[in-house]
Amino acid sequence: DAGVIQSPRHEVTEMGQEVTLRCKPISGHDYLFWYRQTMMRGLELLIYFNNNVPIDDSGMPEDRFSAKMPNASFSTLKIQPSEPRDSAVYFCASSSTGTGNYEQYFGPGTRLTVT
C-alpha cells in the first residue's frame, strides 16, 4: 500500500492568501484525521471524519479553517485567509474500524510557512 499521501510537502505563502492542503488516506480506512504540530503546542487534532462525515471539529482554531472530505479517497484542509501564526506542520492520518484499536497511520506532513 502507498500509505497516506499528502500534498504539497512544503508550502510558503504570504499572509492573507488561501492555502489548500490535500490528503489521500489509505484505501479501505474509514477514519481520517487532520492534525497540526508545533514546538509550542505539540500535536493537536483539528478535525476528524468517519465515512466522509465530520465527527468532531472542535479543534479547528477559527472560521478561517475549513475541511472537506468529498469521497473516501480525498480530503482537503483550507485556510483562508492565512496568517503567520498558522505556520506549522499539518499531518493527515487515517485508521480503520477493522483493526479494533484505531491505530493511526500518518502521512509525511505539509510544512506550511506564512510570511
Partner 1 sequence: TQLLEQSPQFLSIQEGENLTVYCNSSSVFSSLQWYRQEPGEGPVLLVTVVTGGEVKKLKRLTFQFGDARKDSSLHITAAQPGDTGLYLCAGEFTSNTGKLIFGQGTTLQVKP
Instruction: Assign residue 70 a region (left: φ > 0; alpha: ψ between -120 and 50; beta: otherwise).
Output: alpha
Instruction: State which of residues 48, 79, 82, 114 lies at the interface with partner 1 (CB under 8 A).
Output: 48
Q: Which residue in 21, 88, 107, 114 binds partner 1 (CB under 8 A)?
A: 107
Measured distance CA(47)–CA(61) in Å, rounded: 10
Q: Which of 18, 56, 83, 84 binds partner 1 (CB under 8 A)?
A: 56
Is residue 113 within 8 A of residue 62, CB to CB? The reply is no
Give me the residues that bind partner 1 (CB under 8 A), please: 4, 31, 42-43, 45, 48, 50, 55-56, 91, 93, 95, 97, 101-109
